[in-house]
Structure 1
Amino acid sequence: MLLGRPWGRCHPGRCALFLGVALVLDAVGLVLLLLGIFASLDFWDFLVYTGSLILAFSLLFWIIWYSLNIEVPLEKLDL
């Protein structure tokens, strides 16, 4: 057990949409980046730069997903 939760249970959290968008952007960005690096194309630089920008943009969705899944008990909020 890890922190009182059983192993083997995967829970994407409350914001599964942001998680899905982040994973799709990671996959697309990685494919474009690797295609630009390893394929012998004339427009390789476009693929490298576009893949890198998409990977950087996916970090925004990872931060949103993580931030919206933080759980703080009401007793600790001092409202």
Structure 2
Amino acid sequence: MLLGRPWGRCNPGRCACLLILALLIDAVGLVLLLVGIFASLDYWDFFVYTGALILAFSLLFWITWYSLNIELSLEKLDL
């Protein structure tokens, strides 16, 4: 038990679709990057640069997912 919660439970938050999309984009970017690094192709640089750009683009989804899952009470907002 970690902090009173049972092991094995995962809460993706309110925006599970953004989390899944961010994970898929990360996987695609990583695969392209690794293909560009380890495959013996004449156009390896296309895969390396495209994979790196896709990984950088996935940061937008991670930031959006994290920002939309911040919980703040109305008392703390002084509304």
TM-score, length basis structure 2: 0.92
Off by >2 Å, runs of 4+ in structure 1: 1-8
Aligned length: 79
* RMSD, aligned α-carbons: 1.3
Unmatched segments (≥5 aa) in structure 2: none
Deviation at 1:74, TM superposition (A): 1.6
Report matched runs for 1:1-79 at 5 Å.
1-3=1-3, 5-79=5-79
Q: Identity over aligned residues, as a percent?
A: 82
Normalised to the residue count of structure 1, the TM-score between the two structures is 0.92
Shift of 1:6: 3.8
Distance (Å, rounded) in 2 between the aligned partners of 1:64 and 1:3:
27
